[in-house]
Amino acid sequence: MQQLRNFLSYIRTYRFSSIFVKSLIAIFCSIVFPTFILYSATYTVSRNNTNEYVSSISLELCNTTKNITDTLIDEMNTLAINTSINEEVISLMLFPDADKERDNRLRNYLKNYQFVYDYLDSAYIFCEDNQKVICSDLTVTNLSELSDREWYEIYESMTDTKGLTKFRKYNNHYPYFLTIVQPIYTTTSLRAGAVVLNIDVKKLFKSFKNKNFSQMQQLMLINGDGQIIYSTDDDKISLLLTEDENATAVSQLEDQSTSVMTLGGETFVVSSLHSSGYDWSYYSAIPTKQYQTQLSGLITTLLIMIVVSLCLSIVISTYISKKIFSPIESIMTMLDTPVPWQIPDGKKKLNETDYILQKIFQTKQANQRLIEEQENRLEILKRAQTLMLQLQINPHFLGNTLNAISWMAIDLTMSNNEVSKAITTLAHMYKINSDTTNYMTDLESEILYTKQYIDLMQLRYPNTFDVVWIYEDYIKNAKLPRVLLQPLVENAVYYGIVPSQKRGTITVKVTCEKGIITIVVSDTGVGMDKEKMDLLNRAFLDEYVYFDGSIGLKNVNQRLRLIYGEEYGVQLRESKNGGVEAILQFPYIT
């Protein structure tokens, strides 16, 4: 009670010329009023920047969609052209009589397309002379017996040697195709048939959209005939503009422009770009709702800041009037002293001055550590950039040279041989390694890459080892860093099987449990000294070593830790069969 009476007496005798009032006025003018000005300016700038940002994002996404889609369609057209000039295909046109061996090669040739391009629904080779159609589903039939004959209308309408790309529906229902019809001409200059590629439109966009684009983005493609050939809303695909008012509205947008539109009661930023080589236009729409919500949150935040600033002004003024800046003066005195600071021991009770000095010293030390760490990281970055630039020095040169050597080997023997096959496999592996566009792949591709390496090793060491693969089909689509499995198999060959000087077995087992992929590569080789194995396992758990010249197990371990975290990596243990087991783990991601 006595303290309360003293406080009330203090208030009654207070004058407006006191430190409290002066401090309150000064702090109010320096905090609250500038905060209000800052609020107005920030809101205005944020609103303008948000509009510009959403517009640029919309146009960028639209342009990215256009570039990727046009490139994929161009690739399919190139594939059709290359097929139309294939020697086996020309032979079919010139000699249409039954040739089962040739037809089987062509069927397998088409089937390979679907393994490489998952958005390619089907492919045909049509011979006009005998109305024969060779299909990618490994069937050979007559045109009259083929269930899908709508492409033939496109073929009949063609008037020149160039191929056509048309949108159509399979038998007037799903799936929806972009059909490429490439005519085939023989030496007689007469049109003898065609190569037909049916691209599933939904799979085409699904192949890249989920990884590269915002889930909020709405896409639409409209061709020159006013038909929707793709839309994020599946129900709109194949509709005409007159059947959808939203499509009609966006189709009025000029090429390479962006506008704010209300579609279905919601506001969107819509961008338009016309295809570089095809008769259709791309439209990208991003809803503004989320960004408007962020602006509303900014208004609320800034209003709260004004209220908090006012409250802080009162509190700070009271504090200043009571303390009369004595701790600050003491701190400034010590900061101005050129002698080394006497930092108080953290174990004893600290006053305000000691506490602030201790925090200043700790901050100074932390800043010094950050500066040193930044210098180290900059050095690492420079080295990484240098290595990347070295890797970019015409990587295709070696691949092309290997292919040339392969042909030289074929010319020497007038047929394929083990040397040409080995060089071709090596060139394909080098091509995969030199691809810097994506450091991730799927398990199926990684297994195929490793099997190509095994083929090379079995040429080098014939009848030396066998490889057993154990995995479930459902995990073949799991994503993992490229060239992760091959180094483990390589270690098993060189350090396990070959030194044993007897035929051995390498087992590769892939399992998935609780969302974690586990790959175990074991061999029946000479094994490893326990001390050396323990030393390697400890090294795998150490802090990352960015540049130590390692290209084997350490490389695999470090990439796993860098990408997925320190709980993942490589471990070695003794195999039940006398060799070594290399185990690596990473999350199951598709």
Place of tokens 């338009």: 272
Per DSSP, which regions of 91-202 are E strands? 120-127, 132-135, 140-142, 164-170, 173-185, 191-200
Compute how many other C-beta atoms are within 10 angstroms of the C-beta atom of residue 386.
10
Task: Indicate if the pLDDT at residue 390 is higher than 50.
Answer: no
The amino acid occupying position 490 is: E
**For strand 132-135 and strand 120-127, is the pairing parallel, antiparallel, or unpaired?**
antiparallel
| Per-residue pLDDT tens over the stretch 23-40 | 667 776 776 667 667 767
Long-range contacts of 508-514 (CB under 8 A, 24+ apart): 508/447, 508/450, 508/467, 508/468, 508/469, 508/470, 508/471, 509/470, 509/471, 510/443, 510/470, 510/471, 510/472, 510/475, 511/471, 511/472, 511/475, 512/472, 512/475, 512/478, 512/588
Residue 295 has a pLDDT of: 63
Whether 388 shows a pLDDT value over 60: the answer reads no
> Two tokens at 86?
């294939």
Confidence of residue 402 (pLDDT cuts 50, 70, 90): low
Q: How many residues comprise the chain?
A: 590
Q: How far apart, in whole angstroms, are the C-alpha atoms of residue 453 and residue 461?
A: 12
For residues 110 and 86, the answer to whether their CB atoms sit within 8 Å is no
pLDDT at residue 104 tops 60: yes
Does residue 96 contact residue 132 with C-beta atoms inside 8 Å?
yes
Mean pLDDT for the stretch of residues 392-418: 55
Which tokens go with 283? 């439209």
pLDDT value of residue 3: 55
**pLDDT score at 565:** 85
Q: How far apart are the first and last CA of the chain?
A: 69
For residue 247, give the nearest of 266, 226, 267, 265 by alpha carbon: 226
